[in-house]
Amino acid sequence: MFSTARMTETVSGRAWIRAMLATLAALARAKAGSGLMRREMADEIGSACATVEVDAATIGLEAVSTATPVVPLLEVLRRRLGADAGAELHRGATSQDILDTAMMLVSRDAIEVLIDMIDSVQQHCAVLAREHRETVMAGRTLVQQAVPITFGLKAARWLHGLVEARESLVTYRANRLAVQLGGAAGTLAALAPHGPVVLRAMAAELGLREPVLPWHTARARVTELGAALGIAAGAAGKIAVDVILLSQDEIGEVSEGGFGRGRSSAMPHKRNPVSSVQAMACVRRGQALVQVLMGAMAQEHERAAGAWQAEWETLCDLFILTDAAARHVAAALDGLQVFPANMRANIQRSQGLLMSESAVAVLSGYLGTAVAQRTVEAAAERARAHATTLHDELLVDSEVAGRVPPDAVEHALDPARSLGAAPVFVDRALAAYSAQQAMSKSGPTGQTD
Amino acid sequence: MFSTARMTETVSGRAWIRAMLATLAALARAKAGSGLMRREMADEIGSACATVEVDAATIGLEAVSTATPVVPLLEVLRRRLGADAGAELHRGATSQDILDTAMMLVSRDAIEVLIDMIDSVQQHCAVLAREHRETVMAGRTLVQQAVPITFGLKAARWLHGLVEARESLVTYRANRLAVQLGGAAGTLAALAPHGPVVLRAMAAELGLREPVLPWHTARARVTELGAALGIAAGAAGKIAVDVILLSQDEIGEVSEGGFGRGRSSAMPHKRNPVSSVQAMACVRRGQALVQVLMGAMAQEHERAAGAWQAEWETLCDLFILTDAAARHVAAALDGLQVFPANMRANIQRSQGLLMSESAVAVLSGYLGTAVAQRTVEAAAERARAHATTLHDELLVDSEVAGRVPPDAVEHALDPARSLGAAPVFVDRALAAYSAQQAMSKSGPTGQTD
Amino acid sequence: MFSTARMTETVSGRAWIRAMLATLAALARAKAGSGLMRREMADEIGSACATVEVDAATIGLEAVSTATPVVPLLEVLRRRLGADAGAELHRGATSQDILDTAMMLVSRDAIEVLIDMIDSVQQHCAVLAREHRETVMAGRTLVQQAVPITFGLKAARWLHGLVEARESLVTYRANRLAVQLGGAAGTLAALAPHGPVVLRAMAAELGLREPVLPWHTARARVTELGAALGIAAGAAGKIAVDVILLSQDEIGEVSEGGFGRGRSSAMPHKRNPVSSVQAMACVRRGQALVQVLMGAMAQEHERAAGAWQAEWETLCDLFILTDAAARHVAAALDGLQVFPANMRANIQRSQGLLMSESAVAVLSGYLGTAVAQRTVEAAAERARAHATTLHDELLVDSEVAGRVPPDAVEHALDPARSLGAAPVFVDRALAAYSAQQAMSKSGPTGQTD
Amino acid sequence: MFSTARMTETVSGRAWIRAMLATLAALARAKAGSGLMRREMADEIGSACATVEVDAATIGLEAVSTATPVVPLLEVLRRRLGADAGAELHRGATSQDILDTAMMLVSRDAIEVLIDMIDSVQQHCAVLAREHRETVMAGRTLVQQAVPITFGLKAARWLHGLVEARESLVTYRANRLAVQLGGAAGTLAALAPHGPVVLRAMAAELGLREPVLPWHTARARVTELGAALGIAAGAAGKIAVDVILLSQDEIGEVSEGGFGRGRSSAMPHKRNPVSSVQAMACVRRGQALVQVLMGAMAQEHERAAGAWQAEWETLCDLFILTDAAARHVAAALDGLQVFPANMRANIQRSQGLLMSESAVAVLSGYLGTAVAQRTVEAAAERARAHATTLHDELLVDSEVAGRVPPDAVEHALDPARSLGAAPVFVDRALAAYSAQQAMSKSGPTGQTD
């Protein structure tokens, strides 16, 4: 219900089959390069891998008896190959080599897809950050009005959360996508003495890193990716939770879009933040999957009995749910209605109490810090009690009247003059975003692909 | 890759649509019974619900704009109904009422499917428990040989773990499957003053419990089900981990089946415990999902913004993975080869040290407890050091020779005479199993369906 | 930072030592009853267990070399016993028997403590439910105003969530707290042929259930308890999240208490819902621990290598965090300020749109359902656009004017007339609560203790 | 029960208090540097922070009413300061600034402690890898013998898993430990216009990074740390699970240490792998906590209501449990007994079937791949059936006899000649380890501290 077609395809059975075929072809070429296989045979295998049609369902179904889809895949391929090529096809490797390497290839593509989706969310955030760089609103802590911020700063924080999450994915892609080739138990015995040479050649063929060791039971590589995805989902979730809270009827500072979206089946008046709500559902579901990968690290001996086999679909689901979370957030921000007037009204409606900190600061210059603090606390309490405003109460306060110029009080209570570094931080976030985008285009990722 | 066709269908989009249609039809009949709707209109709605063809993909796709599939489903139905029936169709209810009630109906069927699967695993366990009631093997604690048990006792424990898990599911089904009907915010205002009557009638129509309150944000009902499923998966996992460990080459006490199963792509000699391995993968993936439901309990106001929406697919996946775990365990036990000779040989190969406790017990009668303890420890250490056996070392021990009759030593060191209550516990487990099965056939579940 | 002194003590090292000593004493008495030990020796052991002083830190520290605190505890005891009693003290049992039984005894006490804490939260909820049975407020779905409810209904739902959670704990206590006695590997060989008799006698001594089988690697019993605790935490979390959301400045329908609580270090005006916030922190931390118990079910052979050892402290932490969550919720509700005027004002401020459903219902009687629906939607949209109210827009609507009596429109738009079964559901929840309390006093739990 | 004294102290309440005091002192100095505070006042504050005695329990207890320990800490400090310094002490900052920065300081120390512990495990692994570079043992996949490896390779993989985990911690420490200073809602309004300057100065004072933005609700920084810790725990868990499996009586290839460790309370002969078992308990408990941090990322507005408050103790527990897991693994490896003779014997006991792959490879040169494959499979099956060896069966096989020189068969079946790149990979892992250690000493981490 939540997936995007592009990511779904990228981590589909079809994609895995393509990746496994690419792995087998690269293995053949790497062996040929090391003199372990005739070049013609590698070509025969490469050609079969490039053209064979394999049905995902069949592979999946037959795989039940061996717990991996590699055995049935090899059988399909062997029907297209001469007996010698068929026998050589998989020699030196083990099923896990093919599956783990395919997982890296699929992950490379899926990271690409996810980064595109993140980019699209970032664009919306950047636009909002720029446009609303000085749009005053209440900053809220523990869901209560605290001091003024700007909506642009909020959007800048959303943006920077994504910049961090994207950075982790880019770094992962550059450094951690590695070929897996170890043979039956990680010694490459069947390729001896050329094992390490084939390993290196195969990595080069596929544009993946050469690992220090085969990593069949060293799964930090997989868990790190899972964590990076969970964190990306979390960055999307931060945006969604803010949009949801700002969409509340009583706050009404943003709305996900025009009439017709978020319609209730029973209540015609409602404009539910449905995209953000769906994003949160994806975030919750996706992040829980990280635990599966984390818990799967203590793998037995040279191949795990259950923990490894739990990784593939978990990782695919995690890609799908993280991508979906980002997509829903993109939908929430695309056409997001922002209501600056409500933002200002909400500040007034709270008796202007969020200017307390600022009032203390300004009054301290006239009354000393301790008296200023006490005076503002008392005025705030009166404003609450009488439903007046901090402004009104301070102006008539006996400590203030005569000792603090009215202008100074006005100044101290103007949210727009109390934004501190909000615009500066907006600019910093936008600069970091631009730098990341520029880097991405010129790019270090090219090296590793 | 892991699901059974039956469970997959039971929790499929098609099944959800059927359940939502059944819910809408029951709502109409319940309203008619309370005089809130003409009987003919209820019949018109019931007939449309029974015969309409709805494509799951379409519902799912359109649902993106409202975050539930109920709105598009209603639209499809309304095309088949007169304007009045179309307008009345959903009145009084909200999307969540339809989805939550459908979730209960789907869960009822899915529990049935899962119980059947558990029954099939239980049958295998019961056969093994009976057949091997007195088949001696090493009991192992912290993966080391401890004292003798019987393989039948191990199977009896597997069986009883499933009896407990099944009991939780049966109890849940009998007590906790409830209709959800609250209207927009749980007051049934649109059905006033007949709300509670319609609630009760709708529960009766569907064979579900009438809840004390509508439970739109009271999700213990869902989390309890998730926990029961996670526990059932855990009971399956206990069996799988034992089969895996007993299948080790160096232990060789069981094997999942004949040559051909569990074949390795590179190593023709291996007979991998593939079903148990796949079961463990399902257990790991399934149990992690319980966390999603647990974490979704703190739901906002009268409908959650993300937590509720995360439940449906999580619950479906949890049913599929628990069922798959059980199926793989059934496959592991179906045709499980048991090697009693290896069981005995393994005891010997460990210097017979697992008879230490028994030896201390018997020798205590002759030497006093303290001396017996010290003597056996020393003999065990010598047996380890010289790769002899505890038996040999005790017979020549100076404390023992002359003070303990050789017969008594022999007796003390015979695993088959040291089984304690193992056969009794086998019988107790089988009796509990039979009682549960008998109850199940006569039984109380009939009341609630 | 979050625990209550009572629960902390109940699951402390001291409490575990007391429970282990009680277990050892009960084992001795049970053996004496079966003729396996002289009555005087059982008395000697019982007396030592009752009077010995054991330092938790020492036991914990020494335990590192054996992975359980039982071995050092036995050593301390033996220093107080004659050689024979010392040798007999633990015979027939294994460390896990002592620890698992102690876990059940500790859990029994901890459940008692937790139920008391839940009772205290329930009392607050019940008072609120009764007092505000007809206090009108906006029901909110997806954080938007939906239709009117009463604050009493909200409190009744909080109450009933706790009633359900408490019921699970009571049922668990009545049915699932069982003695564990299996000896080295679950056969009770060292007690043969009296094992089952001792098992039963020991259960009776301790007021625990006799299990069908020793449950050293059948851990559903522990996971079920963990799930029940996680669900209780979730029920507390539901209350906390509502209090937090209702405490928002812009909503202001409740406040956790007078000035001085929830003070900010920098912002003197804030009244943060600190108890609810801390409750949520406890809920998040506690529920995550359930996963440890769930994942620990697949235990190896006759004693697990790591999974079992992860249970004890996890369960203690889970008790502490669940109790703390409930305590913080109790603090939030104790002296909770409720602002009915704000509840009404919030309805007005949203253009009265939450009366849409009711308006459609009433207008349908005059205009037919389809027209009524369309008319209300249009009026709602105009009210939103012009910041008027649904009431005003409907009165001047051309479809309505002349065809619907103004009185009927007024009636349809009065929240207090649109509460449906809210008061009825309040009464149902209070009745269920009273029944549970009555049962609790008279009742069935006495049997099992 | 599991913690090391050093880590326990490093993340203790005392340590947090020290870190909060250091943060407050640094804030004062940073403000003085920017002209926002007189140098003498900063000195007064710095001196008070350096010398004040604060009782952790008191701070913790009082904190209940505000949900942070910062407010009571400030009160204690103010008693030592003049009124002006007391009023200025915290100005510009919010409680979260102090706590988050303290969390970074505590984490910096705790990472140091953990890295030391990892180093100690690595040393043991490196020694084992070097010593057993060519010690032949069975490689095992799905817990069955697959092909020969060396024990040194296994230890090298353990080592490299730790190298990867340590690298993540070092990278985190170098790049992600950042000061937090945002004021009430992240704008630094109370420091305007010097906020960013103070932020930079405070970072420099504490040797922490200056963040692009205050990160009060951007929690990737915390979750990344949690993930790195969970992954480090997982790397320890990989070692523990291998030691446990190799310690099995029937395998007996390693043992955790001499008699006296791992003693059972009832079975004097057992030598349980207690350290590895305890390590696994810590791994399970620790990794589950990552989920709390992951799930806490979607934080509300400018400060979260529960999610943030769940972080502190979770992170401390995660440090303690990860450190404890590593310590237990260090204990398991310290004095680990390795039994090469048993490693060879286990290969023989499995009919030498793990040489099948090698046999196919060699025979292929004489018989062609297809025939070789078929021949070896048949011989393996006969060896299993008759409890002979692959060696014996191949020598008398009709396909082999006469067509393959007996020498070639012998060669093909010698595990020591079939180690492939095992020694090479050992060397690679040792080289990577040395490089990391060298870097660590010269190092880049110096820059960031």
Tell me D209's DSSP state. Answer: B
In angstroms, rounded to a whole number, what is the distance separating the alpha carbons of residues A190 and A187? 8
Residue D1 has pLDDT above 50, yes or no: no
Q: Which of D157, D175, D213 to mutate to test the interface with A (most CBs of A within 10 A)?
A: D213
Say what the pLDDT of residue A58 is.
Answer: 77
Considering only CB atoms, which chain C residues are within 8 Å of D291?
A: 288, 291
Q: Give the nearest partner residue to B306 out of A190, A267, A277, using CB atoms.
A: A277
Considering only CB atoms, which chain A residues are within 8 Å of B216?
A: none
**Chain-chain contact of A266 with C140 (C-beta, under 8 angstroms):** no
A304 — alpha (psi -120 to 50), left (phi > 0) or beta? beta
| ipTM of the complex as predicted | 0.94
HEC string for chain A? CCCCHHHHHHCCHHHHHHHHHHHHHHHHHHHHHCCCCCHHHHHHHHHHHHHCCCCHHHHHHHHHHCCCCHHHHHHHHHCCCCHHHHHHCCCCCCHHHHHHHHHHHHHHHHHHHHHHHHHHHHHHHHHHHHHCCCCEEEEEECCEEEEEEEHHHHHHHHHHHHHHHHHHHHHHHHHCCECCCCCCCCCCHHHCCCHHHHHHHHHHHHCCECCCCCCCCCCHHHHHHHHHHHHHHHHHHHHHHHHHHHCCCCCCCEECCCCCCCCCCCCCCCCCCHHHHHHHHHHHHHHHHHHHHHHCCCCCCCECCCCHHHHHHHHHHHHHHHHHHHHHHHHHHCCCEECHHHHHHHHHHCCCHHHHHHHHHHHHHHHCHHHHHHHHHHHHHHHHHHCCCHHHHHHCCCCCCCCCCHHHHHHHCCHHHCCCCHHHHHHHHHHHHHHHHHHHHHCHHHHHC
Q: Are D19 and D102 in contact (CB under 8 A)?
A: yes
Residue type, A208: L
Q: List the single residue in A with minimal CA-CA distance to D230.
A: A294
Which of the other chains make 3 or more beta carbon contacts under 8 angstroms with chain C? A, B, D
**Chain-chain contact of D265 with C94 (C-beta, under 8 angstroms):** yes
Q: Give the nearest partner residue to C268 out of A145, A262, A373, using CB atoms.
A: A373
Q: Give the nearest partner residue to A265 out of B70, B266, B279, using CB atoms.
A: B70
**Chain-chain contact of C356 with A269 (C-beta, under 8 angstroms):** yes
Instruction: Examine the residue annotation and report whether B327 is marked as an active-site residue of this protein.
Output: no
Cross-strand pairs, B255: B337
In angstroms, rounded to a whole number, what is the distance separating the alpha carbons of residues C36 and A108? 68
Considering the entire predicted model, what is its pTM?
Answer: 0.96
**Chain-chain contact of D145 with B249 (C-beta, under 8 angstroms):** yes
In angstroms, rounded to a whole number, what is the distance separating the alpha carbons of residues B202 and B150? 52
Buried-state track D4-21, b at ≥16 Cβ within 10 A, e below 16? bebbbebbebebbbbbbb
Q: What is chain C's length?
A: 449
Average of pLDDT values for C284-291?
Answer: 98
Catalytic residue, candidates A271, A285, A303, A344: A303
**Chain-chain contact of B183 with A67 (C-beta, under 8 angstroms):** no
**Chain-chain contact of C67 with D278 (C-beta, under 8 angstroms):** yes
Q: How confident is the model at residue D393 (pLDDT cuts 50, 70, 90)?
A: very high
Q: Give the nearest partner residue to D283 out of A94, A140, A298, using CB atoms.
A: A298
Residue D265 has pLDDT above 70, yes or no: no
Average of pLDDT values for D261-281?
Answer: 76
Q: Which of B309, B317, B318 to mutate to test the interface with A (most CBs of A within 10 A)?
A: B309
**Chain-chain contact of D142 with B273 (C-beta, under 8 angstroms):** yes
Q: How confident is the model at residue D449 (pLDDT cuts 50, 70, 90)?
A: very low
The helix/strand/coil state of B421 is: coil
In angstroms, rounded to a whole number, what is the distance separating the alpha carbons of residues D283 and B222? 29
In angstroms, rounded to a whole number, what is the distance separating the alpha carbons of residues C105 and C17? 11
Antiparallel, parallel or unpaired: β C254-255 and C136-141: unpaired
Over pLDDT 70: what percentage of chain C? 93
The per-residue pLDDT for range C437-449, each reduced to its tens digit, is: 999 877 554 333 3
Q: Are C100 and C309 in contact (CB under 8 A)?
A: no
Say what the pLDDT of residue C66 is.
Answer: 61
C-alpha closest to that of C249 among A411, A410, A135, A253 = A253
Catalytic residue, candidates C303, C356, C358, C418: C303
- Alpha carbon of C363: minimum distance to chain B alpha carbons (Å): 12
In angstroms, rounded to a whole number, what is the distance separating the alpha carbons of residues C72 and C17? 11
Q: Give the nearest partner residue to C185 out of B84, B139, B189, using CB atoms.
A: B139
Q: List the single residue in D with minimal CA-CA distance to A296.
A: D234
- Alpha carbon of C34: minimum distance to chain B alpha carbons (Å): 15
Considering only CB atoms, which chain A residues are within 8 Å of D153?
A: 186-187
C-alpha closest to that of B249 among B268, B266, B275, B273 = B273
- Alpha carbon of B432: minimum distance to chain C alpha carbons (Å): 8
- Alpha carbon of B37: minimum distance to chain C alpha carbons (Å): 13
Say what the pLDDT of residue C348 is.
Answer: 86
Find the range with the poorest average confidence among B108-122, C51-65, D95-109: C51-65
Say what the pLDDT of residue A446 is.
Answer: 37
Considering only CB atoms, which chain B residues are within 8 Å of A190?
A: 266
Instruction: Examine the residue annotation and report whether B303 is marked as an active-site residue of this protein.
Output: yes
**Chain-chain contact of B1 with A266 (C-beta, under 8 angstroms):** no
**Chain-chain contact of A142 with C353 (C-beta, under 8 angstroms):** no
- Alpha carbon of B266: minimum distance to chain D alpha carbons (Å): 7
Say what the pLDDT of residue D442 is.
Answer: 73
In angstroms, rounded to a whole number, what is the distance separating the alpha carbons of residues A361 and A378? 15
Say what the pLDDT of residue B447 is.
Answer: 36
Considering only CB atoms, which chain C residues are within 8 Å of D260?
A: 65
Q: Average pLDDT, whole number, for chain B? A: 92
CA dihedral of D314, D318, D319, D325, whole degrees rounded to 10: 160
Say what the pLDDT of residue C214 is.
Answer: 98
Preceding omega of A340 cis (within 30 degrees of 0): no
The per-residue pLDDT for range B329-344, each reduced to its tens digit, is: 999 999 899 999 999 9
The helix/strand/coil state of C290 is: helix
Tokens of residue C183, six digits: 């000896």
In angstroms, rounded to a whole number, what is the distance separating the alpha carbons of residues D280 and D303? 36
The per-residue pLDDT for range B247-297, each reduced to its tens digit, is: 999 999 999 975 445 555 555 556 789 999 999 999 999 999 999 999 999
Antiparallel, parallel or unpaired: β D144-150 and D136-141: antiparallel
In angstroms, rounded to a whole number, what is the distance separating the alpha carbons of residues B367 and B412? 14
Considering only CB atoms, which chain B residues are within 8 Å of D259?
A: 381
Say what the pLDDT of residue C204 is.
Answer: 98
**Chain-chain contact of D360 with B146 (C-beta, under 8 angstroms):** no
C-alpha closest to that of B129 among B324, B305, B333 = B333
Say what the pLDDT of residue C446 is.
Answer: 37
Considering only CB atoms, which chain B residues are within 8 Å of D138?
A: 249
CA D194 from centroid of its chain's CA atoms:
40
In angstroms, rounded to a whole number, what is the distance separating the alpha carbons of residues D18 and D2? 24
**Chain-chain contact of C268 with A360 (C-beta, under 8 angstroms):** yes
**Chain-chain contact of D306 with C93 (C-beta, under 8 angstroms):** no
In angstroms, rounded to a whole number, what is the distance separating the alpha carbons of residues B110 and B119? 14
Q: What are the φ/ψ torsions at residue A209 (nearest 5 degrees)?
A: -70, 150
Cross-strand pairs, D136: D150
Preceding omega of A273 cis (within 30 degrees of 0): no
Average of pLDDT values for A275-292?
Answer: 97
Q: Are C242 and C279 in contact (CB under 8 A)?
A: no
Q: Give the nearest partner residue to D66 out of C70, C262, C288, using CB atoms.
A: C262
Catalytic residue, candidates A39, A264, A284, A428: A264
In angstroms, rounded to a whole number, what is the distance separating the alpha carbons of residues C60 and C48? 20
Q: How confident is the model at residue C271 (pLDDT cuts 50, 70, 90)?
A: confident
Q: Give the nearest partner residue to B218 out of C161, C192, C290, using CB atoms.
A: C161
Q: Are D159 and A387 in contact (CB under 8 A)?
A: no
Residue D61 has pLDDT above 90, yes or no: no
Tell me C303's DSSP state. Answer: B
Residue A449 has pLDDT above 60, yes or no: no
Find the range with the poorest average confidence among C141-150, D232-241, D298-307, D383-392: D383-392
**Chain-chain contact of D306 with C183 (C-beta, under 8 angstroms):** no
In angstroms, rounded to a whole number, what is the distance separating the alpha carbons of residues D90 and D31? 11
Q: Average pLDDT, whole number, for chain D? A: 92
Question: What angle separates helix A39-51 from helix A13-33, to the nearest 10 degrees?
Answer: 170
- Alpha carbon of D26: minimum distance to chain B alpha carbons (Å): 39
CA C448 from centroid of its chain's CA atoms:
21
Q: How confident is the model at residue A1 (pLDDT cuts 50, 70, 90)?
A: very low
The residues, ordered by sequence, that sit 6+ positions from C18 with a Cβ below 8 Å of its Cβ are none
C89 — alpha (psi -120 to 50), left (phi > 0) or beta? alpha
Could you tell me how many CB contacts below 8 A there are between chain C and chain D?
A: 165
Q: Are D180 and D96 in contact (CB under 8 A)?
A: yes
CA distances from C169 to C124, D103, D239 (A): 20, 37, 39
Tokens of residue B42, six digits: 């209820």
Task: Report the number of secondary-structure helices (H) and strands (E) in chain B.
Answer: 19, 4
CA-based end-to-end distance of chain C = 32
Say what the pLDDT of residue A269 is.
Answer: 59
The residues, ordered by sequence, that sit 6+ positions from B163 with a Cβ below 8 Å of its Cβ are B122, B429, B432, B433, B436, C212
Average of pLDDT values for D38-56?
Answer: 95
Catalytic residue, candidates C39, C79, C264, C434: C264
